Amino acid sequence: MATYNKLPAEVFDIYKDFSAPLGSDTIQSIVAVTSINERTGLDSTADIVATSPPPSISGSKVFYWVKGGAVSEQHKVTITIATAGGREFSDVDHIVVWSGA
């Protein structure tokens, strides 16, 4: 789990490295990249997770882009993958939207 601070106007990519749980297995697909507003408990995927470019796989890493949000919001982004060996793994990032001051 990692925490990233961002300004509302910023758009940038983040990657999750799944090499530790994968072992010799490989990522077959990204099941989902979803977000929940930690204060309201509501789905915030459309507000925080960019769809263009879409999440992508590079070796043992999953890359996704974050966007938007309002100052003082906190979001929990969950990244879930499926492996060639039939397993699923998830990891979490926290996104804190701040004013930069």
Q: Convert the pLDDT of each residue in 3-15 to its tens digit.
A: 999 999 999 999 9
In whole angstroms, what is the distance from residue 99 CA to residue 101 CA? 5
Q: Tell me the whole-structure pTM to 2 decimals.
A: 0.95
Question: What mean pLDDT comes out for the span 30-34?
Answer: 98
Here the tokens at position 26 are 């490989």
Question: What mean pLDDT comes out for the span 33-54?
Answer: 97
Contact 57, 79 (CB under 8 A): no
Read off the pLDDT of residues 61-78 as tens digits, 9 standing for 90 and up: 999 999 999 999 999 999
**Mean pLDDT value across the chain:** 97
User: Which residues pair with residue 83 across a beta bridge?
Assistant: 27
Contact 10, 62 (CB under 8 A): no
Identify the three-state secondary structure at position 21. Answer: helix
Question: What mean pLDDT comes out for the span 20-38?
Answer: 97
Enumerate the domain spans of the chain. 2-97
In whole angstroms, what is the distance from residue 29 CA to residue 37 CA? 25
Q: What's the CATH number for 2-97?
A: 2.60.40.1220
